Amino acid sequence: MLHRIVIPTVVLAAPAFAADLAAISFKTLEGKDTSLKDYSGKVVMVVNTASKCGLTPQYEKLEALYGQYKERGLVVLGFPCNDFAGQEPGTAGEIQAFCKAKYSVSFPMMEKVHVKGPEQHPLYAALTGTQGAFPGEVKWNFGKFLIGRDGKPIARFEPKTTPDSPEVVQAVEKALQ
């Protein structure tokens, strides 16, 4: 049974979740096959990103969060997405170059995916679908999902909730304990 506690910009879920997120494959920006299985034992933050959005400066805060907690087991996975006002039109190479040059992104970036609609990536369907951990479409770029070391989704943060906000930092720290 899934229990939710709603706080203005975050939804926390109880650990019960049926989907095996680790079995869902996706590709890195370099085209390499991967899945959450490759991050087994880590706390994972899944973020849909965009290069031409008012929230794009969150890359800097995501990189800082990753830098602060990666040694303790946090990994941030960026999933570029062009579903919102065409704000990620770039190719894989352009996205990679932008992220490195503008924000010195060192966390793993994945190939562009759809986070909503008929072509929604299976990872996002498992997170946001009617049977998902956090039902309800991603509202915009930089929606964040926190997945525990056990591979179970534990929190959802709306796009305007920044990676350095107290609720995000507290959830990350708790998940890393």
Region of residue 142 (left: phi > 0; alpha: psi -120 to 50; beta: else):
left
High-pLDDT (> 90) share of the chain, %: 87
Cα–Cα–Cα angle for 150, 74, 80, nearest 5°? 100
Average pLDDT rounded to a whole number, residues 49-56:
98
pLDDT computed for residue 20 by the predictor = 87
What are the boundaries of each domain within the chain?
A: 4-176
In this predicted structure, the answer to whether residue 7 has a pLDDT above a threshold of 80 is: no
Q: What is the pTM of this model?
A: 0.90
Architecture of domain 4-176: 3-Layer(aba) Sandwich (3.40)
* CA–CA distance, 30 with 148 (Å, rounded to integer): 26
* CA–CA distance, 125 with 21 (Å, rounded to integer): 10
Q: What is the pLDDT of residues 124-160, one digit of tens each?
A: 999 999 989 999 999 999 999 999 999 999 999 999 9
In this predicted structure, the answer to whether residue 103 has a pLDDT above a threshold of 60 is: yes
What does each C-alpha distance from 29 to 26, 49, 52, 154, 160 come to in angstroms? 10, 13, 18, 26, 25
What average pLDDT is seen over the chain? 91
Tell me whether residue 53 is one of the annotated catalytic residues. Answer: yes
Average pLDDT rounded to a whole number, residues 19-32:
93
pLDDT computed for residue 19 by the predictor = 67
Catalytic residue among 53, 77, 126, 172: 53
Which positions ≥6 away from 33 have C-beta within 8 Å? 25, 26, 27
